[in-house]
């Protein structure tokens, strides 16, 4: 019995590290997609604070593309906080489709990160985006 436990402990350890590596790959993919979408967003007004926060969001997401450390969760929280703070300024009819795709990817990130703060931010962003209607 003890011999089987040793075999399985290696298997479980390998499975865990494989799952973590898969999650990191997925996080990098979603970060890359968000980065591309952020580049498509154009602020309506020339507000220095909105421009700075949008630039900060892009930099944080860019940082997550090569990060495998425990700082990933903090970076995703910083990204979510920054995006949420400027969301109402960016949420125009033209930017809406990009922001909604970003929100979906951020929800996917929240599932992988399994952090309550990221999850709450992702739902708050999605909720704010879904509540705005545009005139036809």
- Predicted confidence at residue 8, as pLDDT, reads 54
Q: Count helices and strands (H / E) in the chain.
A: 5, 0
On whether residue 136 sits in a domain, the answer given is: no
Domain that holds residue 69: 2-131
Mean pLDDT by 10 residues, the chain (136 residues): 53 52 86 95 81 92 82 92 91 90 96 92 94 60
d(CA 78, CA 61): 10
Does the residue 34 lie in any domain? yes
Has residue 91 been placed in a domain? yes
pLDDT of residue 15: 46
- Stated pTM of the model: 0.81
- Cα gap 133→136, rounded to integer Å: 9
Whether 78 contacts 59, CB under 8 Å: no
Question: Could you give the count of Cα atoms lying within 13 Å of 123 in the half-sphere of its Cβ?
Answer: 6
Does residue 68 lie within any of the structural domains? yes
């Amino acid at each position: 019995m003890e011999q089987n436990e040793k075999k399985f402990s290696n298997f479980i350890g390998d499975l865990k590290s494989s799952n973590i590596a898969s999650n990191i790959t997925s996080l990098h993919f979603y970060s890359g997609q968000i980065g591309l979408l952020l580049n498509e967003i154009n602020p309506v007004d020339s507000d220095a604070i909105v421009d700075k926060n949008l630039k900060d969001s892009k930099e944080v997401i860019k940082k997550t593309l090569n990060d495998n450390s425990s700082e990933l969760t903090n970076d995703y929280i910083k990204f979510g906080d920054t995006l949420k703070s400027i969301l109402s300024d960016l949420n125009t009819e033209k930017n809406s489709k990009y922001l909604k795709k970003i929100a979906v990817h951020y929800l996917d990130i929240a599932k992988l990160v399994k952090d309550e703060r990221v999850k709450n931010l992702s739902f708050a962003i999605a909720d704010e985006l879904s509540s705005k209607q545009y005139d036809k």
